[in-house]
A and B are shown apart, each in its own frame.
Chain A
Amino acid sequence: MEFLQPATWHEALEARAEHPEARPIFGGTDVMVELNFDRDRPGALLDLTRVPELSEWGEEDGMVRIGAGVSYARIIEEVGGRLPALAMASRTVGSPQIRNRGTVGGNLGTSSPAGDSLPPLYAAGAEVEVCSVRGVRRVSVEEFVRGPKRNALAGDELISAVVVPVARGPEQFSKIGTRNAMVIAVCSLAVSLDVERRKVRACIGSAGPTPIRAREAEGFIEGVLDEEGLWESRGEIGEETLGRFAELVREAARPIDDVRSTAEYRRHAVGVLARRELVWVWQEYRGGEAR
């Protein structure tokens, strides 16, 4: 095995092009588990932790660009005000030790349907910035994640950043697990309000081969909010509407039975999360705390 340790982004891209067998590593919280258990023996490790740009983030024109190497701990502390749902999701990842090392870039690299950063990124309409010596391209996160542990990265490409619109309203993320901390999601849900554009976004995690946007539920609730003039009146959302929204989110899930949960429980839980989170974001909007 080789250990490649580029000091600049350019060197990293060259190393990637020259060593298609290399496995990129940043926080190592997925990669090292595979190595320690002999499940992966890549020809080389491509350590990206020395590339300074990857650990930077910045805001421009209403978009936050987060380098692939920004840890969950830093997202919570530094970016949380701009991207509340991503910060809430980051807070549920592993333990302090894992959040200090693990990155959104690595979560995208792994592309697990249970990746906690993914539902907020889907709900926000985030784009993944992907680079190679051939150039830079941006792919919507939905196109990027292809299936369990499969994504749109070509052999010579690396993730440089994820670009996320700053929240335009209240956001929520909730996760169901078998205990309070240190668990992979049984299922999860991100819900956000785009107050400016009068849009509602909902994305289910860990209940399908990829995260799933609940598009019918989104369309339904947007319709009711418009028809009943609720954006203007900031009135309460009716019980029946909440129930129907939850049902539509539940129907969008495509869960399976596995060691963590039955499909039936996942479907039920996703509906419960949908109702609760819609109430929470709407209460925040009504309270006038909308961004």
Chain B
Amino acid sequence: MRLRLEVNGEVREVEGVWEGESLLYVLRERLGLYGSKNACEQGECGSCSVYLDGVLVCSCLVAAGQAEGREVVTVEGLAEGEGLHPVQEAFVEAGAVQCGFCTPGFVVATHDLLSRNPEPTDAEIREALAGNLCRCTGYEKILDAVHRAAERVRV
């Protein structure tokens, strides 16, 4: 089937989409947006997190056709221009990026958290990021990064 959706502010069209395919597959394999990672395909790791019409979702659990005509924002769409988004900068500075596989998902989920709650407590951060797994950092540096980002941005 044919799909038309807006990704990071740009209308994109894709042909030959399989009806049972996920939005994640469309983003990565058809549109070449490799920021959203594919790790579990079952909603457990959050590494595929994107905004769908402004709502944080696991793109691996959205059927491609459900995104028809909708707006998607991926980690690639957060920063304006060439630089990093302040949330991304905070992750780098805090050492919350090691292998980096989980990072795009954490960045989008953190962006979503800070847009709703600009000064989250540790407990609130843990709750908001409970759907994102990291195998490297032990999460302390991620907590650090979120606090740093919160100080710097009001997203």
A45 cross-chain contacts in B, Cβ below 8 A: 19-20, 63, 65
Given contacts A3-B1, A180-B130, contact A96 B109 (CB under 8 A): yes
What residue of chain A has the Cβ atom nearest to residue B132's Cβ?
A95
1/0 per position for A162-197, CB-CB distance to B under 8 A?
000000000000000000111000000000000000
- Residues of chain A from 36 to 88 with CB closer than 8 A to chain B in the complex: 36-37, 41, 44-45, 47, 49
Near A by CB (< 8 A), chain B positions 103-123 give 109, 112
Q: How many residues of B contact A (CB 8 A)?
A: 30
Q: Are B44 and A29 in contact (CB under 8 A)?
A: no
Query: In the bound complex, what is the Cα–Cα distance between A49 and B67 (angstroms)?
Result: 10
Is B66 an interface residue, CB under 8 A from the partner?
Answer: yes
Are A5 and B65 touching (Cβ within 8 A)? yes
Contact (Cβ within 8 A) A1 B130: no
Whether the Cβ atoms of A97 and B41 lie closer than 8 Å is no
Give every chain A residue within 8 A of B143 (Cβ-Cβ).
none
Interface centre among A2, A100, A180 (most CB of B within 10 A): A100
B1 closest partner in A (C-beta):
A3
A111 and B1 alpha carbons, distance in the complex (Å): 31
Q: State whether B57 touches A97 (Cβ < 8 A).
A: yes
**Given the complex, which residues of A lie within 8 Å of B94, measured CB to CB?**
none
B41 touches A27 (CB 8 A): no
Residue B86 lies at the interface, judged by CB distance under 8 Å to chain A: no
Docked complex Cα distance between A37 and B112 (Å)? 28
The verdict on B146 contacting chain A, using a C-beta distance below 8 Å, is no
CB interface residues, A 1-16, toward B, < 8 Å:
1-3, 5
Task: Assess whether B63 is in contact with A100, with CB atoms less than 8 Å apart.
Answer: no
B77 contacts the other chain (CB 8 A): no
Asked if B61 contacts A33 (CB within 8 A), the reply is yes
For residue A71, which residue of chain B has the nearest CB?
B55
Query: Is B127 in the interface zone, CB < 8 Å from A?
Result: yes
Given A45-B63, A47-B66, residue A33 in contact with residue B130 (CB < 8 A): no
* Least CB separation from B131: chain A residue: A95
Question: Known contacts A3-B1, A3-B19, A45-B19: does B131 contact A98 (CB below 8 Å)?
Answer: yes
B-side contacts of A5, CB under 8 Å: 65, 68
* In the complex, chain B residues 122-155 whose Cβ is within 8 Å of any chain A Cβ: 126-128, 130-132
In the docked arrangement, what's the CA distance between A203 and B133, Å?
32
Query: How far, in angstroms, from A41 to B19 measured CA to CA in the complex?
Result: 11
Q: How far is the CA of A35 from the CA of B42 in the complex (A)?
A: 10
- B61 near A101 with CB under 8 A, answer yes
Q: Across the interface, do B57 and A101 meet the contact criterion of CB distance under 8 Å?
A: yes
Determine the distance from Cα of A44 to Cα of B127 in the docked complex, in whole angstroms: 36
**Contact A49/B66 with A98-B58, A100-B55 known, Cβ cut-off 8 Å:** yes
In contact, A94 and B43 (Cβ under 8 angstroms): yes
Q: Within the assembled complex, what's the spacing in Å between the Cα atoms of A5 and B66?
A: 8
- Tell me the complex Cα distance, A1–B58, Å: 23
Specify the chain A residue showing the minimal Cβ separation from B55: A100
Ordered by A's residue number, 28 sampled pairs between the chains whose C-beta atoms are within 8 Å are: A1-B19, A3-B65, A27-B61, A28-B63, A29-B43, A32-B61, A32-B62, A32-B63, A33-B61, A36-B60, A45-B63, A45-B65, A47-B65, A47-B66, A49-B66, A94-B43, A95-B46, A96-B56, A97-B131, A98-B131, A100-B56, A100-B57, A101-B58, A101-B61, A180-B126, A181-B126, A182-B44, A182-B131
